[in-house]
């Protein structure tokens, strides 16, 4: 049964089906962790928090190497990695095939000599073209947005990493909607810096980023072009159970709780469940005659981007979903605005969440004129639960 229309939504309730590609819904334990009394961030209690966090973050990244945690969103982590490892004169090849890889290239241009290698949005980065570009130019580093959230596409990171490694370049990766949701082989692939955001696959509040570093990257860290995001200071501080500046303590506590939950579930199980949810999403879309935006061979397991059928207006569709069915989805960005919608199915998302999401999607699409056999999408999801 659809929910009664709501006059205005100022705060989402527990019945809301929250399916953004980040931030994502949080466990009550994570929310409760933020309600702890004030804590001395230079005292023994918080040092214990940082020691535990360091272990959990290494587990999440799949590395025994150095890591850092910063008060600041994923972009702060990217800036820390780029400004801490590279210098102005360093040439960087930026692999661009969506909004967030484009933003990553813009960020790199502030701190180094940035050269974008662009691909059509919705198409994966072609390793052969990366190889050719590296053959033609002397690049210090390559950047990649592993999981391009704007298009719902996962780039072939292992193949790209091998090519970057063969050219002896540094590999700096935006893993903001990948780490904790996609299989990560940081050490095996030879990644030099990998960045994640707290509000995505780990299902913590927005406001923290974490960075994993190779030994090579640690050896290159410097403090010439950054202050608050000085990655060298954050790495050295965390090793000593400290932070260079006042941390966002409540979010650190929530992040710790979210990582505890991740470890209880098990990283492999979390990744496996995310994959099954993605496959169910794709099966459900096929049953109600909707098409993926990206090349299906590279469709993401953490966020799905869907083309609108003819005649369905983005603003009307998402308004009906929100006000009548309590379902929150994301629209498209930049050149894709009004052309696609996106479903996030990472973190703590369940098959029940996905079925409720599709119930609303089917009802809204039918009301707006899209013709299909209603209920088939939900049934396809149920078969894979």
Residue-wise pLDDT for 274-312, tens only, equals: 999 999 999 999 999 999 999 999 999 999 999 999 999
Alpha helices in the chain (DSSP H): 28-33, 44-61, 74-85, 99-111, 127-136, 157-166, 186-189, 215-220, 231-239, 249-265, 267-287, 314-325, 351-367, 376-384
Q: What's the token pair of residue 285?
A: 């879309």
Residue-wise pLDDT for 87-119, tens only, equals: 999 999 999 999 999 999 999 999 999 999 999
* pLDDT of 93: 98
CB 300 within 8 A of CB 154: yes
Q: Is a pLDDT exceeding 50 seen at residue 4? A: no
* pLDDT of 14: 62
| Per-domain boundaries in the chain | 17-21+267-384, 28-265
Q: What's the token pair of residue 31?
A: 């929310």
Residue-wise pLDDT for 37-52, tens only, equals: 999 999 999 999 999 9
Return mean pLDDT, the chain: 95
Q: Is a pLDDT exceeding 50 seen at residue 5? A: no
Residue-wise pLDDT for 236-280, tens only, equals: 999 999 999 999 999 999 999 999 999 999 999 999 999 999 999
Beta strands per DSSP E along the chain: 17-18, 67-71, 91-96, 113-118, 141-145, 147-148, 153-154, 170-174, 193-197, 208-213, 303-307, 327-328, 330-331, 340-344
Residue-wise pLDDT for 186-210, tens only, equals: 999 999 999 999 999 999 999 999 9
The class (CATH top level) of 17-21+267-384 is: alpha beta
* pLDDT of 155: 98
Q: In CATH terms, is domain 28-265 a member of 3.40.50.300?
A: no
Residues 360 and 341: their CA atoms lie apart, in Å, by 14
Residue-level length of the chain: 385
* pLDDT of 15: 77
Query: How do strand 208-213 and strand 67-71 relate by DSSP bridges?
Result: antiparallel
* pLDDT of 21: 97
Share of the chain above pLDDT 90, in %: 95
């Amino acid at each position: 049964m659809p929910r009664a229309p709501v006059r205005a939504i100022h705060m989402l309730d527990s019945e809301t089906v929250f399916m953004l590609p980040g931030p994502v819904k949080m466990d009550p334990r994570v929310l409760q962790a933020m309600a702890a009394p004030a804590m001395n961030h230079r005292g023994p209690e918080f040092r214990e928090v940082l020691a535990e966090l360091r272990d959990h973050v290494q587990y999440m990244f799949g590395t025994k190497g150095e890591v850092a945690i910063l008060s600041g969103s994923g972009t702060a982590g990217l800036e820390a990695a780029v400004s801490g490892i590279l210098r102005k004169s360093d040439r960087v090849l930026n692999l661009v095939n969506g909004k967030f890889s484009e933003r990553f290239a813009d960020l790199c241009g502030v701190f180094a000599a940035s050269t974008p290698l662009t691909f059509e949005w919705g198409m994966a980065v072609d390793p052969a073209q990366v190889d050719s570009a590296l053959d033609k130019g002397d690049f210090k580093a390559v950047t990649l947005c592993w999981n391009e959230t704007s298009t719902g596409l996962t780039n072939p990171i292992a193949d790209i990493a091998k090519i970057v490694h063969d050219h002896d370049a540094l590999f700096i990766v935006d893993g903001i909607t990948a780490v904790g949701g996609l299989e990560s082989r940081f050490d095996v692939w030879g990644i030099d810096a990998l960045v994640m955001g707290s509000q995505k696959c780990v299902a913590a509040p927005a406001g923290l980023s974490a960075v994993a570093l190779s030994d090579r990257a640690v050896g290159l860290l410097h403090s010439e072009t950054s202050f608050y995001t000085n990655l060298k200071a954050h790495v050295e501080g965390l090793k000593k159970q400290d932070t260079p500046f006042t941390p966002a303590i409540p979010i650190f506590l929530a992040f710790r709780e979210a990582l505890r939950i991740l470890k209880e579930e098990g990283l492999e199980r979390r990744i496996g469940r995310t994959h099954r949810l993605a496959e169910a999403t794709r099966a459900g879309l096929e049953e109600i005659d909707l098409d993926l935006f990206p090349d299906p061979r590279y469709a993401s397991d953490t966020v799905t981007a869907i083309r609108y059928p003819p005649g369905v207006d983005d603003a009307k569709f998402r308004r009906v979903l929100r006000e009548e069915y309590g379902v929150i989805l994301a629209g498209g960005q930049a050149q894709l605005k009004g052309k696609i919608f996106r479903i996030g199915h990472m973190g703590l998302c369940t098959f029940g969440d996905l079925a409720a999401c599709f119930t609303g999607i089917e009802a809204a699409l039918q009301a707006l004129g899209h013709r299909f056999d209603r209920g088939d999408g939900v049934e396809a999801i149920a078969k894979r639960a």
